[in-house]
């Protein structure tokens, strides 16, 4: 069996890049940003020394989530727009596992918008990567919630019929735990922010919107444009990612540029699991399955008759 990995094995690490190998090859279009995102994810997991058996990779529906069988490990392909409740349930029932969810802009900012908002509000301790390519790619290019006004899509030749959503502004309006932005054009920055978001997850909901090139149906969002327009928070020496007002101002001031980096981290928010005071032990010591008392529904029903 040969490995299709493009990076060398990390010397001395317990986990290797090839541990995430799958014999199933990607079918994305040539130049699709999903290749970069999958490579960055594998590299991030290896550099964090997280084995495939220690992480649950939860996928929605879309081009992005066709990644589900291109990786080794525990992977679940869920329903359109519904990946977040599944991922939250997986983490709540087994807190020792890392749980990472993936979805596109269509699933996250339209079909699953309620789940996105509730995950931000509830502060579920999971990591969420959104592949935001500004259209529904799998179904051949309908306008999505993040398609800019006055731009055309295959199935919307007159442009979007509804207003464009800025997902970072929406997320920041809830004073969330962790908000990041990256692009498929800059794999080094993407690995850096992925590692931060995965490491953060036990503190709460770590959300990263990844602007992803879709050369087939979104000709405006090219890798060249993403690199040229990125406005990195790290280039501003006084930028404080713990300051919500500064984060909101940064996101709103970008104009035609693209906010990039760890934009906000809430230093005070308590994660959902740490609020579950009825859990018998420290939330990180036991699984829900270990805590639930065995109960005979037959005995209960008999007691009623």
- Residues near ligand SF4 (CB under 6 A) are 28-29, 32, 34, 63, 133, 137-138, 214-217
Choose between 128 and 264: whose C-beta lies nearer to Mg ion: 128
Least Å distance, CB 141 to Mg ion, is: 9
Least Å distance, CB 217 to Mg ion, is: 9
Determine contact, residues 76/57, Cβ cutoff 8 Å. Answer: yes
Cα–Cα distances (Å) from 37 to 18, 41, 106, 159, 208, in that order, read: 16, 6, 17, 28, 12
Residue 99, Cα to own-chain centre: how many angstroms?
10
Q: CA–CA separation, 135 vs 218, rounded Å?
A: 7
| Cα diameter, the chain | 73
104 near Mg ion (CB under 5 A): yes
Q: Which does 193 bind (CB under 5 to 8 A by kind): Mg ion, ligand SF4, none?
A: none
Determine contact, residues 234/259, Cβ cutoff 8 Å. Answer: no
**Residues 118-137 within binding reach of Mg ion (CB under 5 A):** 133
Q: Which does 105 bind (CB under 5 to 8 A by kind): ligand SF4, Mg ion, none?
A: Mg ion
Least Å distance, CB 34 to ligand SF4, is: 5
Choose between 28 and 102: whose C-beta lies nearer to ligand SF4: 28
Q: CA–CA separation, 56 vs 94, rounded Å?
A: 10
Q: CA–CA separation, 225 vs 238, rounded Å?
A: 26
Least Å distance, CB 126 to ligand SF4, is: 23
Choose between 13 and 148: whose C-beta lies nearer to ligand SF4: 148
Q: Which does 20 bind (CB under 5 to 8 A by kind): ligand SF4, Mg ion, none?
A: none
Token readout for 108 is 């996250």
Q: What is the dihedral of CA 132, 135, 141, 142, to 10 degrees?
A: 150
105 near Mg ion (CB under 5 A): yes
Choose between 80 and 248: whose C-beta lies nearer to ligand SF4: 80
Residue for token pair 């970072």: 168
Least Å distance, CB 245 to ligand SF4, is: 35
Least Å distance, CB 39 to Mg ion, is: 19
Helix or strand or coil: residue 12?
coil
Site residues (vs Mg ion, CB under 5 A): 104-106, 133
């Amino acid at each position: 069996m040969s490995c299709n990995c493009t990076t060398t094995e990390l010397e001395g690490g317990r986990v290797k890049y090839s541990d995430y190998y799958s014999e199933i090859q990607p079918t994305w279009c040539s130049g699709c940003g999903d290749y970069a995102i999958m490579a960055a994810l594998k590299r991030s997991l290896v550099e964090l020394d997280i084995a495939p058996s220690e992480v649950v990779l939860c996928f929605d529906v879309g081009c992005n989530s066709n990644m589900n069988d291109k990786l080794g490990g525990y992977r679940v392909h869920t329903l359109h727009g519904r990946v977040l409740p599944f991922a939250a349930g997986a983490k709540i029932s087994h807190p020792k596992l890392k749980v990472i969810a993936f979805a596109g802009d269509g699933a996250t900012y339209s079909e699953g918008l309620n789940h996105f908002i509730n995950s931000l509000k509830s502060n579920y301790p999971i990591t969420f990567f959104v592949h935001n390519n500004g259209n529904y790619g799998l179904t051949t290019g309908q306008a999505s919630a993040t398609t800019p006004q006055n731009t055309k899509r295959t199935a919307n030749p007159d442009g979007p019929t509804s207003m464009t959503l800025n997902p970072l502004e929406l997320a920041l309006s809830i004073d969330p735990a962790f908000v990041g932005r990256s692009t498929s054009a800059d794999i080094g920055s993407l690995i850096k922010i992925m590692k931060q978001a995965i490491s953060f997850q036990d503190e709460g909901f770590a959300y990263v919107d990844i602007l992803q090139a879709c050369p087939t149906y979104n000709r405006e969002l090219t890798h060249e444009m993403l690199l040229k327009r990125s406005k990195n928070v790290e280039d501003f020496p006084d930028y404080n990612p713990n300051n919500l007002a500064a984060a909101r101002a940064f996101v709103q001031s970008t104009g035609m540029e693209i906010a990039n980096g760890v934009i906000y981290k809430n230093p005070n928010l308590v994660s959902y699991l740490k609020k579950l005071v009825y859990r018998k032990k420290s939330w990180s010591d036991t699984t829900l399955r270990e805590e639930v008392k065995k109960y005979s529904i037959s005995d209960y029903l008999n007691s009623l008759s």
